Amino acid sequence: MGDVLHALPAVSALRRLHPDWEIDWAVDPRWAPLLGAAAVDQLHLVPTRAWKQRPLSLETARQILRLKDELRSRAYDLCVDLQGTIRSAVVGRMAGAARFVGPDAPRERLARLLYGERIRTTATHVINQACELLGAAVGERLEAAAVTLPVDAEAWCSAMLERVCQGRPFVVMAPTAGWGAKQWPPERFGAVAAALAQHGYVTLINSAGKGDVASGDGDAVAAKVVAASGGSAHVVTCGIAQLVSLLRRAALLIGSDSGPLHLAAALGRPVVGLYGPTDPARNGPYTAATRVLRHPSSRRDHHRHAETEAGLLQIATEQVVAAALDLLRPAASTLETA
């Protein structure tokens, strides 16, 4: 989810400059709803997670061949890999575009061997890197543009909030992440929820249930947060559209480096980000109302270790509560004044 959200500002900027261009997107089906309201003409669904589960099946081979035919039928002038992984580079190569452009220093270095052209980026944040890469590929200067996200779960959101929050302000927590090293302990999230309850805030825990927002163990992590909160936290099962509607109304999101954190940032919501092995200068929330906590001992490491990174464990519950209240107090003062 984060990769899609990081690429959207660049693609939105390109669409505004060239409304007549045909712009398509190859995307994992899980994240396709994020693009439903975006300025994209056609989506190519790439179910790599399912292919990985059955790599040798005949049906997987058929789906890959169908995707290749679908991509090539569009006769693209240009394909740009904004993700920089071997997987995305292989899909880009399959498209058979007249030009295939990627970053000179992709996230997975072997991906660069598949590009026809490589562009060196100098920006620090991944959103600005995407603007630099896509802009250079088309010969334009792109500035990150505001993105449009789906708005089709408002009725669900209103009913759920009335039932659970009963008019009280709420904070959303996203306690899971792409891999274990990025996840702050659920027991500490629960302690933060208990502390915020003393200040009048309900805490809602984002869980995908059988969906795809959280990691596979999202329900177990959410249950631990609720248990540690002493009943101050409540699990809310969300798909993409529901999560967008929920975050639009949230007073704050607290989370590890994860898709929901970047979604809240894209919606302009206040965010407390808990960072360890990923660098917030590159992957931090792209919004003004932000408090990013990272211990000086943390070092960038994208190896998918299962255990929480040692530096991330140095972030204390009290620090997170203080950062959250620091962002929540201005909003509360505004409401009192109004």
How many residues would you count in the chain?
338
For 71, phi and psi rounded to 5 degrees? -65, -45
Say what the pLDDT of residue 215 is.
Answer: 37
CB atoms within 10 A of CB 200: 10
CATH class of 154-337: alpha beta
Say what the pLDDT of residue 178 is.
Answer: 87
Pick from 12-16, 110-114, 299-303: least confident: 299-303
Sign of the alpha-carbon torsion through 12, 179, 214, 54: positive
Quickly state the pLDDT bin for 334 (edges 50, 70, 90): very low
**162 pLDDT more than 90:** yes
233-237 vs 252-256, strand pairing mode: unpaired
What is the domain partition of the chain in residue ranges? 2-138, 154-337
Say what the pLDDT of residue 289 is.
Answer: 86
**47 pLDDT more than 90:** yes
Contact 278, 309 (CB under 8 A): no
**246 pLDDT more than 90:** yes
d(Cα 294, Cα 28) in Å, to the nearest integer? 30
Say what the pLDDT of residue 212 is.
Answer: 35
- For residue range 219-230, what is the model confidence (pLDDT) as tens digits? 889 999 999 999
| Edge-first strand listing for the sheet containing 233-237 | 233-237, 202-207, 170-174, 252-256, 271-275, 290-294
Pick from 64-78, 144-158, 249-263: least confident: 144-158
3-state SS, residue 119:
strand
Residue with tokens 């390109």: 14
Quickly state the pLDDT bin for 76 (edges 50, 70, 90): very high
117-119 vs 99-103, strand pairing mode: parallel
Say what the pLDDT of residue 267 is.
Answer: 93
2-138 and 154-337: identical CATH topology: yes
Mean pLDDT of the chain: 91
**Overall average pLDDT of the 184-205 stretch:** 97
HSE at residue 301, side-chain half, CA atoms within 13 A, is: 19
Range 2-138: architecture per CATH = 3-Layer(aba) Sandwich (3.40)
